[in-house]
Amino acid sequence: MGLLILVILTAILPTIPFSSSSFGSIHDLLRSHGLPGGILPKSVDSFVLDHATGLLEATLVSPCYAKYDGMAYFDRVVRGNLSYGELRGVVGLAQEELFLWLPVKEIRVSDPASGVILFDIGLAHKQLSMSLFEEPPDCRPEASLALWGGEGLLSSSSSSSSSSWG
């Protein structure tokens, strides 16, 4: 009987996902996998990592925009396959390049000593300083709020209407 329980536990344990409560913060998880903690914003509400497949799923409070060297858009759920030094098959993250929003497909740190992080945005690979991603950024619901430091393009003083943009 004891052997049967051991066999069942051995088969089940590798597929049990780790959640935010069993690891700490997602930013700590990313750092432990050789990635900077700031590639995801502060507004991550919860996450699940399936160690058997490497699938990482982060749920944010709401979709939002953050500013790094340019603008980044985070959907409410961001997914990717996590392994040491890389997040592949990313879904739910886009980066603005020349007024176009391009999906980020992969994030990789090949050589930590170089201080460079590589973003695969489909049409190109973008290399940025890892120092931009050391700390998780604030994430705002509107791109204009993140880009212009708190004031949207339309402020209450420039509009006579009492409606808000939410």
Walking along the chain (166 residues) 10 residues at a time, the average pLDDT comes out as 44 44 82 97 97 97 94 97 98 93 96 95 91 95 58 35 33
Whole-prediction pTM value?
A: 0.74
On whether residue 44 sits in a domain, the answer given is yes
On whether residue 159 sits in a domain, the answer given is no
On whether residue 7 sits in a domain, the answer given is no
- pLDDT at position 23: 61
Handedness of CA 39, 33, 86, 116 (dihedral sign): positive
On whether residue 80 sits in a domain, the answer given is yes
The tally of domains found in the chain comes to: 1
Phi and psi angles of residue 20, each rounded to the nearest 5 degrees, phi first: -60, -30
- pLDDT at position 124: 86
C-alpha distances in Å from residue 51, one per residue of 16, 27, 44, 102: 7, 17, 19, 29
On whether residue 5 sits in a domain, the answer given is no
- pLDDT at position 123: 81
On whether residue 52 sits in a domain, the answer given is yes
Give CA–CA dist 162/79, Å, rounded: 38
- pLDDT at position 35: 97
H-helix or E-strand containing 23? Answer: helix 20-23
On whether residue 158 sits in a domain, the answer given is no
- pLDDT at position 64: 96
- pLDDT at position 3: 43
CATH of the domain at 90: 2.30.240
Name the percent of the chain in helix, strand, coil, to the closest 5.
25, 35, 35
On whether residue 2 sits in a domain, the answer given is no
Residue 103 domain boundaries: 14-147
Q: Which residues share a beta bridge with 94?
A: 73, 103
